[in-house]
Amino acid sequence: MATKKPWGGRFAQTTDPTAERFSASIHFDRALARHDLRASRAHARMLAAQRLISESDCDAILGGLDALEAEIEAGTFAWDPALEDIHMHIETRLRERIGEPAARLHTGRSRNDLVATDLALYLRETAAALELGLLELRGTLAARAREHIDTVLPGYTHLQRAQPVRLAHHWLAYVEMLGRDGERFAGVRQRVRFSPLGSGALAGTTLPLDREATAHELGFEGPTRNSLDTVAARDAALEFLSAGAIAMVHLSRLAEELVMWSSAEFGFVELSDAYSTGSSLMPQKKNPDIPELVRGKAGRAVGNLVSLLVAVKGLPLTYNRDLQEDKEPVFDTAATLRDSLEVMAGAISTLQVQIDGMRAAAEDPMLLATDLAEALVREGVPFRDAHEVVGRVVGHCVEKDVSLTSLSRGDLVAFHPSFTAGAAELLDLERALEQRSLTGGTARANVLEALDRADAELAARVEAIAAEVAGAKEPR
């Protein structure tokens, strides 16, 4: 049975119930309610200032919008799928509360520019919140890194032991990559610094709206410059989804290491019971389910990006209903990343580092084979020749099942006359760490400097975002 007429007086027939269910978006776009109310308040004040509505109508509208916000916050607002989206819900309920003045609110605007405005407000706010979440995790990693400046473990390439590094240096790598994620979300906020409101359905309006006024009230720098682009564009949402997908991939890499490191085969860390689960069958198991879930949820974020890219790739200007598909992936990625950041910060802050196990793995003399080649370089041997020589030395050790550091100078000279001492004298774990003192290296002084720099950067970013958020708050 059909239930309602489509919007406006053009249609004689009511909407088929299957079409109504198919097209309804209120089950997800209600997340924009607060932003829709804010945009509506700014629009109403501007209409009154432009004498397109009376001051009394404006007061009635503002009071009614406040009442609707209270209903939504209290959970008493009635959501009706027949009303399709958040905009129709607010306008319909407002008319029920205040009567005829509510019909004036939509003067000079379209749901096309309104939803673009709501989404811009949402993206700006959510991108700031997610950068704060990234800063919290970066701070957790930096704090744990400071605890473990002198904890040493193997660095890996191809998941094979490569060279020794400090655990602090390893965790600071994630501080760096998550910092770039934060910059990407800051970039999203830059891309939504102009207000769509007033662009209308696609070509603006003949009414004398003041787009500058609504833009500034909503915390934007000014109005967007092309009405067609404004209602058709979703690249800010795509950029948000891209930033979210990359951040989730970074979290997935960190989670993968926690999964591996907590296994008996590595024995590098033990996750807190609060971030682990047991087996329904095997009582001895302690499973790293939380990092595994983060690793798995990265696929959702990647999929959300792909889904919106595909949705918009062939759309002609301007608005098409396909664009309704922009919000669910955005909301899902935002929630997934927010929760993943929170649980990863908890898991990192509470895990126990198995210092001895890490060091035992890092003390494998083979990890210093490159240092042995560089000892030859310092004696004037071309590196490629030195690499070949040490490769033969390593092959000898593997074949004879002897330690690299057991080779005397006489043993080494048999491979090349430029060796000046035995391997035990040439190779030392602590010296190997300290000699890597170039910018970005794992020497102790470098790591301490990087930690101090990270702490200062994190504090500055938190302060900057707090100021930005305070400046974007709705005036009441």
The predicted-structure confidence for 34-43, as pLDDT tens digits, reads as follows: 999 999 999 9
CATH number for the domain harbouring residue 262: 1.20.200.10
CATH number for the domain harbouring residue 75: 1.10.275.10
- Confidence check: pLDDT of 12 > 80: no
Instruction: For residues 354 and 408, state if they share a domain.
Output: no
Query: Kindly report the CA angle at 4 between 29 and 86, in degrees rounded to 5?
Result: 15
Lowest-confidence pick of 175-189, 273-287, 440-454: 273-287
pLDDT per position as a tens digit, 91-119: 999 999 999 999 999 999 999 999 999 99
pLDDT confidence of residue 6: 52
Pure H helices in 82-110: 86-98
- Cross-strand partners of 222: 194
pLDDT per position as a tens digit, 189-231: 999 999 999 999 999 999 999 999 999 999 999 999 999 999 9
Any domain includes 215 = no
Any domain includes 410 = yes
| Known catalytic residue at 279 | yes
Which of 104, 131, 166 is the C-terminal boundary of a domain?
104
Any domain includes 227 = yes
Instruction: For residues 182 and 296, state if they share a domain.
Output: yes
Any domain includes 229 = yes
Any domain includes 5 = no
Domain encompassing residue 463: 111-199+221-361+451-471
Task: Give the whole-angstrom CA distance, residue 117 versus residue 111.
Answer: 10
CA terminus-to-terminus distance, the chain: 44
pLDDT per position as a tens digit, 281-320: 888 899 999 999 999 999 999 999 999 999 999 999 999 9
Instruction: For residues 389 and 348, state if they share a domain.
Output: no
Q: Do 86 and 80 form a contact (C-beta atoms < 8 A)?
A: no
Instruction: For residues 467 and 326, state if they share a domain.
Output: yes
Instruction: For residues 167 and 314, state if they share a domain.
Output: yes
Task: Give the whole-angstrom CA distance, residue 354 versus residue 343.
Answer: 21
Q: Do 232 and 303 form a contact (C-beta atoms < 8 A)?
A: no
Instruction: For residues 287 and 247, state if they share a domain.
Output: yes
Instruction: For residues 190 and 314, state if they share a domain.
Output: yes
Any domain includes 11 = no
Give me the amino acid identity at 326: D
Strands 269-270 and 352-353: antiparallel
Coil, helix or strand at residue 210 = coil
Instruction: For residues 124 and 264, state if they share a domain.
Output: yes
Alpha-carbon dihedral angle through residues 83, 84, 89, 92, given to the nearest 10 degrees: -40
| Catalytic residue, candidates 54, 56, 263, 279 | 279
pLDDT per position as a tens digit, 115-146: 999 999 999 999 999 999 999 999 999 999 99
Give the pLDDT band (50/70/90) at residue 10. low
Percent of the chain scored above 70 by pLDDT? 97
DSSP 161: E
Q: Do 248 and 337 form a contact (C-beta atoms < 8 A)?
A: yes
Instruction: For residues 253 and 179, state if they share a domain.
Output: yes
Instruction: For residues 253 and 151, state if they share a domain.
Output: yes
Q: Which residue has the tokens 């965790």?
A: 171
Burial 398-425 (b: 16+ CB within 10 A, else e): eeeeeebbebeeebbeebbebbeebbee
Backbone angles phi, psi at 163, to 5 degrees: -145, 155
Instruction: For residues 238 and 175, state if they share a domain.
Output: yes
Percent of the chain scored above 90 by pLDDT? 89
Q: Do 29 and 35 form a contact (C-beta atoms < 8 A)?
A: no
- Cross-strand partners of 152: 166
Q: Do 322 and 232 form a contact (C-beta atoms < 8 A)?
A: no
Any domain includes 287 = yes
Strands 160-166 and 152-157: antiparallel
- Confidence check: pLDDT of 439 > 80: yes
Write the secondary structure of the chain as one string of H (helix), E (strand) and C (coil). Answer: CCCCCCCCCCCCCCCCHHHHHHHCCHHHHHHHHHHHHHHHHHHHHHHHHCCCCCHHHHHHHHHHHHHHHHHHHHCCCCCCHHHCCHHHHHHHHHHHHHCHHHHHCCCCCCHHHHHHHHHHHHHHHHHHHHHHHHHHHHHHHHHHHHHCCCCEEEEEECCEEEEEEEHHHHHHHHHHHHHHHHHHHHHHHHHCCEECCCCCCCCCCCCCCCHHHHHHHCCCCEECCCHHHHHHCCHHHHHHHHHHHHHHHHHHHHHHHHHHHCCCCCCCEECCHHHCECCCCCCCCCECHHHHHHHHHHHHHHHHHHHHHHHHCCCCCCCCHHHHHHHHHHHHHHHHHHHHHHHHHHHHHHCEECHHHHHHHHCCHHHHHHHHHHHHHCCCCCHHHHHHHHHHHHHHHHHHCCCHHHCCHHHHHCCCCCCCCCHHHHCCHHHHHHCCCCCCCCCHHHHHHHHHHHHHHHHHHHHHHHHHHHHCCCCC
Give the pLDDT band (50/70/90) at residue 273. very high
Mean pLDDT of the chain: 95
Task: Give the whole-angstrom CA distance, residue 17 versus residue 292.
Answer: 41
Task: Give the whole-angstrom CA distance, residue 263 versus residue 174.
Answer: 21
Any domain includes 210 = no
Instruction: Name the domain count of the chain.
Output: 3
pLDDT confidence of residue 7: 56
CATH number for the domain harbouring residue 396: 1.10.40.30
Instruction: For residues 416 and 297, state if they share a domain.
Output: no
Which of 72, 104, 136 is the C-terminal boundary of a domain?
104
Backbone angles phi, psi at 375, to 5 degrees: -65, -35
Task: Give the whole-angstrom CA distance, residue 72 versus residue 92.
Answer: 14
Task: Give the whole-angstrom CA distance, residue 48 versus residue 215.
Answer: 16
**Number of neighbouring beta carbons within 10 Å of residue 315:** 14
Which of 73, 104, 135 is the C-terminal boundary of a domain?
104
